[in-house]
Amino acid sequence: MTEAWFREELYPHWRQSFVVSRELYRADDGLQDIVLFETPGFGRVLTLDGVIQVTTGDEFIYHEMLAHVPIYAHGAVKTACVVGGGDGGMLREILKHQAIQQAVLVEIDAAVVEFCRTHMPSVSDGAFDDPRTEIVIADGLRYMAETERKFDLIVIDSTDPIGPGGVLFTEAFYKDCARCLTPDGIVVNQNGVPFLQGEEVTDTWHRRRPHFADVSFYTAAVPTYVGGLMALGWASHSLRPRHESSDTIAARFQAAPVATRYYTPDIHKACFALPKYVQDLIPGP
């Protein structure tokens, strides 16, 4: 019997493929084409429009790094907003911190939330039902433009800047995020794989620089996001959080530890040390 394969074709010159042990779900809800399958090594894999969004095998790396790095850097996050992130993984990691009083999830597609709640419950691990969670089904671009709320942390858990996800990489959106931050607040987002998507880093720096005092990037190695280190964007009105000492981060982690499989205080400091090829993509000092 011929093996079935899923092929992700993000780049014209490079593909990655997964053996499909079992296809669990396939549907087009009018907004996105959703496919869920199982594969050896990575577990359940969720794809939207042919692009991998999350796997139960390695999702912890991405979610931990976008949640815990800014939370421990800030030191007093009480309110958080996740734009996208309908799988619930980002909520799960943010809500590990007992100091969090409210986490707002802004997801454009209600079907994604319900799908992941049903078919990938280990990713959210109860986060959708946490009393601190508020789920808002809305366009993230419009939400940030219209809300009067202020957040200590905004996590943009979006797809790449192609198709519907592109609006979450615009200067207008970043300006609205800046307006919605508290004075020491932090915005983080996935910024692609710089070796293959270097323009995302450069464009993000240019679009954020007019609206934040501190604009930078840090990295994580996520196996299914192929092409080397993944860049995670960082922006804040304050220079303090990104430059907290190793001792301060370690003390905060010791005082309020959370269970992790990738993040550590040492990783926290090391992830801001960018390879030269990534540094060369950043116009500023």
CA angle centred on 279, ends 275 and 281, rounded to 5°: 125
**CA 13/CA 47 separation, integer angstroms:** 20
Which parts of the chain fold into alpha helices (H)? 59-74, 89-94, 110-119, 121-124, 140-146, 171-179, 194-208, 246-255, 265-270, 276-279
Tokens representing residue 37 in the block: 């399958």
In degrees rounded to 5, what are phi and psi of residue 280?
A: -70, -15
Q: Is 5 exposed, middle or buried (0-12, 13-18, 19+ CB in 10 A)?
A: exposed
214 flagged as catalytic = no
Paired strand residues for 155: 82, 188
CA gyration radius, the chain? 18
Of the residues 58, 87, 109, 157, only one is catalytic, namely 157
222: nearest Cα among 5, 58, 67: 58
Contact status, residue 66 vs residue 84, Cβ threshold 8 Å = no
Query: Which residue has tokens 């010791």?
Result: 254
Residue with tokens 């019997």: 1
List, in order, residues 6 or more apart from 274 with CB less than 8 Å away. Answer: 217, 218, 219, 282
The token pair that represents 147 in the structure block: 């809300």
Provide the annotated active-site residues: 157
